[in-house]
Amino acid sequence: MSLVDDTATPAPEKPRHRPARIPRTPMPERDAAKRAKDFEEVTLGYTEEMARAEASRCLQCKNPTCIEGCPVNIDIKSFIGEMINGDYHAAVAVLKERNALPAVCGRVCPQEEQCEAQCVLAKKGESVAIGRLERWLGDFDLACELEGRCVPVVGEDTGKRVAVVGSGPAGLACAGELRRFGHAVTIFESLHATGGVLTYGIPEFRLPKHIVQAEVGLLEEMGVEIVCDVVVGATYTIDELMAEEGFDAVFVGNGAGLPMFMGIPGENLNGVYSANEFLTRANLMRAYDFPKVDTPIWRGRKVAVVGGGNVAMDAARTAKRLGAEEVFLVYRRTADEMPARKEEVHHAQEEGVEFKMLCSPVEVLGKDGWVTGIVANTMELGEPDASGRRAPVCVMGADFTIDCDTVIMALGTRANPLLPKTTPDMELSKRGYIVADENGATSKPGVYAGGDIVTGSATVILAMGAGKRAARAMDEWLMGTAR
Amino acid sequence: MFPIVHARQLSDAVFEMGVHAPAIAKKAKAGQFLMLRIDEDGERIPLTFSDWSAEEGWIRFIFMRVGKTTHKLSNLGVGDSLADVVGPLGVPTHVEDMGRVVVVGGGVGTAVAYPVARAMCAAGAEVTVIVGARNADLVILEDEFRALPLKELIVTTDDGSAGRKDLVTAPLKELCEAGAVDHAMAIGPVIMMKFCAATTREYKVPTVVSLNPIMVDGTGMCGACRCTVDGETKFGCVDGPDFDGHAVDFEELMSRQRVYSDDERLADAEYDRECRCHS
Ligand SMILES: Cc1cc2nc3c(=O)[nH]c(=O)nc-3n(C[C@H](O)[C@H](O)[C@H](O)COP(=O)(O)OP(=O)(O)OC[C@H]3O[C@@H](n4cnc5c(N)ncnc54)[C@H](O)[C@@H]3O)c2cc1C
Ligand SMILES: Cc1cc2nc3c(=O)[nH]c(=O)nc-3n(C[C@H](O)[C@H](O)[C@H](O)COP(=O)(O)OP(=O)(O)OC[C@H]3O[C@@H](n4cnc5c(N)ncnc54)[C@H](O)[C@@H]3O)c2cc1C
Ligand code: SF4
Ligand code: SF4
Ligand code: FES
């Protein structure tokens, strides 16, 4: 306000935000016994009232540390600020500046380690439920009629064509951003459905598929062409896309989809699955509906899942829902070291998944070709290793047997060599991942990459961030100038 | 959608089908396969290319009716479409520098043997083909094979209703014994490939087999197709389907093919009942 001209009417000042001193708003969830029998979503999401109440807890800090915790630096303070004002459309717009899929990330981001860990209220263990607010806004946006939705504006046609390989979070984010710049975009997906891990890996009860499909529908609305059933590296090589099919640039977001096994005896017995196969049959192929749908799945009664990440939790909880009486989670460290999200670990325990910690399988036992159990070593925690976690070491002579008829290996994934093999001039790391700079540029001109295929298995938000960053670099490369 | 442009019944349970899929037809090579899904509720199943035309944009495959999916497929014809066709997948069969080679096709495996034999002929090999079937009605593609510049075509049947009354391994053994072959390739039921490999091992004739493990994606993503070769786990869809027949664990493969047998029988029986109700 001017001190000189005191006749001027002061701009109406917003009422100062007074943070509510209430505890963190819990998220309604379905009863564990009931939900463990079906594939419907476990958490129900906030109501509008709950969302407003939770938003009102935010201090609207001068120095909002939460933002640094988000890998794509969403302006968390502003979006919550808009919620406090009751302008949900504006709040969605703030989210979408950085994150094309808020309804997805609000559900699956490891918020407790990212944005929420950096919230100033976290010290008291009462950080603002940023992820749940994001989910609520994402769902609000999806529920709006298309006109009401925050549909990104498509830029003027540039005459450039870009091919995007893979329709996982990296590919989807990249395609959306490229389209906003006005480039013609075609996504090539090897499976018959879009979404990548969001569709074939993460189960319906954690991320309903209609949400993923709505986001893909929005991209189509923006004019992105999506072609399924095309394996780049087989149906077309990258060189063919650029030389024969008329694409000026290519983004590779093909994920890290090759499942790892332990290399122990008995691993190829019937009843041993990779988590990828088990989850693909259950999610993508909807085998839980067999024989109404044509893809079968072996429904074990006693299931051992090996691993401690999100993938292991998803496999264990899916096995429960397919009717297993007992599901064991076999992990070589302790529950504290598990890389899975705390919330998912908690949900799995509630649903009756039994944790067998500090044990590592050394052999899968079988009879007549089928699994009958696993032999596991007892482990103890030793000195911290390179990852900073205490490394499990084997306790000699303390192996034991776990009876089971199904084993699911959730040990992580590696890079699939199918595409790189046909692109010899694209540099790879020693472990087969694509080498790309911070903008996603690979060693091959016009070819960019991002997501799990560059970083190794990571997170949805990191893959999306990489896709988006690459899109900006590609735009600059295509147009010869920065915007 | 992939329109069906050709459909022909070859024998009681064996069918040939052609699909319009120009991008795939342009790239297909002998020994490679496709994954198809008939409709929204369908299973993804692998089938090998039996023929293709890059110019006309079609691919063909030959399949045996064994379960629900192949049963459903056998009920489709020109004018229908398949929801999904993906390919070409797998490593093409090695056809160069084969010298004197014998290609053995058993049952529906004969369909795969045909493009392989054709490609080997084109690459300048001296090709002998052995085709085996249970009886004369089940011998497929005989005319097509006769049109190739083969050294010899040997037909065997279990009951002697066509060609020699023998198993394919009998003429295979004779050829090996005579020192008349440098390489062998066997494609057919696992048990047949196993015995072919056992036959040639004695004579140290390098033998390639085309494995058919159960698959889901066909691109290396799930590991359903793992096979043990030389004590190591390989993925049939991306490392194969061709492997050294002398190093394959056939028992494991046969066992793994049976994982869903009971379920599949149920599903097919139900489908069969539905078909009858509607007709
Ligand atoms: C079961 C499971 C649970 C998870 N849970 C979480 C979670 O809770 N939170 C979280 O943040 N992250 C989670 N993750 C990790 C997260 O899903 C991944 O980091 C993320 O999906 C990577 O995205 P992407 O786009 O790089 O690859 P992907 O999602 O793997 O997508 C790659 C796509 O490319 C396609 N493709 C592959 N090869 C080709 C080709 N040659 N041609 C054409 N298309 C091709 C694939 O079919 C796929 O659709 C989970 C992962 C799994 C497997
Ligand atoms: C790389 C590859 C190439 C193939 N090429 C051909 C081909 O050219 N022509 C052809 O007829 N078949 C081929 N097969 C086999 C074909 O995929 C199966 O017959 C088909 O999946 C059966 O589906 P279904 O639903 O009709 O039968 P299902 O109900 O799934 O199975 C019926 C019976 O067939 C057995 N079976 C299931 N899957 C397979 C399999 N992958 N291989 C062998 N037996 C199986 C089952 O154990 C069961 O007893 C190929 C398989 C592979 C892996
Ligand atoms: S995207 Fe993930 S890390 Fe970023 S604010 Fe949203 S929930 Fe937090
Ligand atoms: S740090 Fe926490 S309280 Fe502060 S602005 Fe961010 S979310 Fe609100
Ligand atoms: S079929 Fe899935 S990896 Fe081979």
Same domain as A370, residue A449: no
Same domain as A331, residue A437: no
Domain boundary among A390, A412, A434: A412
| Closest residue CA from atom 8 of ligand 4 | A58
Tell which atom from ligand 4 comes closest to the C-alpha of A122. 2
Q: Is A117 exposed, middle or buried (0-12, 13-18, 19+ CB in 10 A)?
A: middle
Same domain as A432, residue A374: no
Question: How does the average pLDDT of chain A come out, rounded?
Answer: 91
How far is residue B117's CA from residue B99's CA, in Å, rounded to a whole number? 13
How far is residue A322's CA from residue A208's CA, in Å, rounded to a whole number? 17
Domain count for chain A: 3
Same domain as A423, residue A364: no
- Residue for token pair 């369909």: B111
Same domain as A178, residue A106: no
In contact, A63 and A115? CB cutoff 8 Å: no
Question: How does the average pLDDT of chain B come out, rounded?
Answer: 92
B278 C-alpha to center of ligand 1: Å? 42
User: Closest approach of chain B CAs to the CA of A252, in angstroms?
Assistant: 16
Q: Is residue A247 part of a domain?
A: yes
By the CB < 8 Å criterion, does A227 face chain B? no
**Mind listing the pLDDT tens digit of every residue in chain A (483 residues)?**
444 444 555 555 566 788 888 999 999 999 999 999 999 999 999 999 999 999 999 999 999 999 999 999 999 999 999 999 999 999 999 998 888 889 999 999 999 999 999 999 998 889 999 999 999 999 999 888 656 676 778 989 999 999 999 999 999 999 999 999 999 999 999 999 999 999 999 999 999 999 999 889 989 999 999 999 999 999 999 999 999 999 999 999 999 989 999 999 999 999 999 999 999 999 999 999 888 899 999 898 999 999 999 999 999 999 999 999 999 999 998 888 889 988 899 999 999 999 999 999 999 999 999 999 999 999 888 888 887 888 888 888 878 899 999 999 999 999 999 999 999 999 999 999 999 999 999 999 999 999 999 999 999 999 999 999 999 999 999 998 877
Contacts of A474 (CB under 8 A, 6+ apart): A162, A174, A178, A183, A249, A251, A440, A448
Q: Is residue A153 part of a domain?
A: no
Segments of A124-267 assigned E as strands: 161-165, 184-188, 225-227, 249-252, 258-259
Same domain as A390, residue A312: yes
Map out the domains of chain B as residue ranges: 2-89, 100-258
Hey, is B85 helix, strand or coil? strand
Same domain as A386, residue A267: yes
How far is residue A433's CA from residue A426's CA, in Å, rounded to a whole number? 10
Question: What's the token pair of residue A97?
Answer: 């500046």
Tell which atom from ligand 5 comes closest to the C-alpha of B235. 4
A204 secondary structure, DSSP code: T
Same domain as A253, residue A265: no
- Amino acid identity at B219: T
Residues with Cβ within 6 A of ligand 1? A 108-109, 165-171, 188-191, 196-197, 201-202, 231-233, 253-255, 257, 279, 310-311, 314, 341, 416, 418-419, 451-453, 457-461, 463
Q: What is the pLDDT of residues A66-99, one digit of tens each?
A: 999 999 999 999 999 999 999 999 999 999 888 8
Same domain as A385, residue A313: yes
Question: Which residue range(s) make up the domain with A353?
Answer: 259-412
A109 C-alpha to center of ligand 1: Å? 14
How far is residue A406's CA from residue A324's CA, in Å, rounded to a whole number? 10
Q: Is residue A19 part of a domain?
A: no
Say how many residues make up chain A: 483
Q: What is the mean pLDDT of each run of 10 residues along chain B (279 residues)?
A: 94 92 95 96 95 96 92 94 96 92 92 92 93 89 91 91 89 90 94 94 94 95 96 94 96 91 82 76
Using CA atoms, how far residue A402 sits from A271, A360, A377, A397, A452, in Å, is 15, 11, 11, 16, 33
Q: Is residue A15 part of a domain?
A: no
A127 C-alpha to center of ligand 4: Å? 8
Using CA atoms, how far residue A183 sits from A157, A162, A445, B113, in Å, is 6, 7, 18, 46
Same domain as A401, residue A267: yes
Cross-chain Cβ contact B233/A261 below 8 Å: yes
Q: State the maximum Cα–Cα separation within chain B, in Å, rounded to a whole number.
A: 57
Beta strand B164-165 with B152-157 is parallel
A170 C-alpha to center of ligand 1: Å? 8
Which residues of chain A neighbour B23 with C-beta distances below 8 Å? 230, 235-236
The predicted structure's pLDDT at residue A249: 97
The predicted structure's pLDDT at residue A100: 84
Question: What's the token pair of residue B274?
Answer: 């539905």
Using CA atoms, how far residue A454 sits from A172, A250, A339, A386, A462, in Å, is 16, 15, 20, 21, 11
Q: Is B239 exposed, middle or buried (0-12, 13-18, 19+ CB in 10 A)?
A: buried
Domain boundary among A371, A396, A412: A412
Hey, is B183 helix, strand or coil? strand
The predicted structure's pLDDT at residue B11: 86
By the CB < 8 Å criterion, does A294 face chain B? yes
Find the CATH number of the domain harbouring A111. Answer: 1.10.1060.10
Same domain as A174, residue A101: no
Q: Is residue A332 part of a domain?
A: yes
Q: Is B223 in the pocket of ligand 5 (CB under 6 A)?
A: yes
Cross-chain Cβ contact B27/A234 below 8 Å: yes
Contacts of A475 (CB under 8 A, 6+ apart): A178, A181, A183, A483
Nearest to A258 among B221, B227, B264 (CB): B221
Domain boundary among A148, A173, A202: A148
- Best mutation target, B43, B222, B255, to test chain A (most A CBs within 10 A): B222
Which residues of chain A neighbour B85 with C-beta distances below 8 Å? 229
Find the CATH number of the domain harbouring A447. Answer: 3.50.50.60
Instruction: Report which secondary-structure segment, H or E, holds A311.
Output: helix A310-321
| Closest residue CA from atom 14 of ligand 2 | B47
Instruction: Report which secondary-structure segment, H or E, holds A375.
Output: strand A370-384
By the CB < 8 Å criterion, does A417 face chain B? yes
CA-wise closest residue to B101 among B176, B19, B169: B176
Q: Is residue A117 part of a domain?
A: yes
Q: Is B213 in the pocket of ligand 5 (CB under 6 A)?
A: no
Q: Is residue A7 part of a domain?
A: no
Helices (H), chain B: 22-27, 68-74, 110-122, 142-146, 169-177, 190-201, 236-239, 250-257, 261-278
Same domain as A250, residue A179: yes
Ligand nearest to the CA of B69: 2
B100-258: CATH number:
3.40.50.80
Q: Is residue A66 part of a domain?
A: yes
Q: Is A367 exposed, middle or buried (0-12, 13-18, 19+ CB in 10 A)?
A: exposed
> What CATH architecture does domain B2-89 belong to?
Beta Barrel (2.40)
Contacts of A440 (CB under 8 A, 6+ apart): A251, A448, A449, A450, A454, A466, A467, A469, A470, A473, A474
Cross-chain Cβ contact B23/A292 below 8 Å: no
A56 C-alpha to center of ligand 4: Å? 11
- ipTM summary value: 0.93
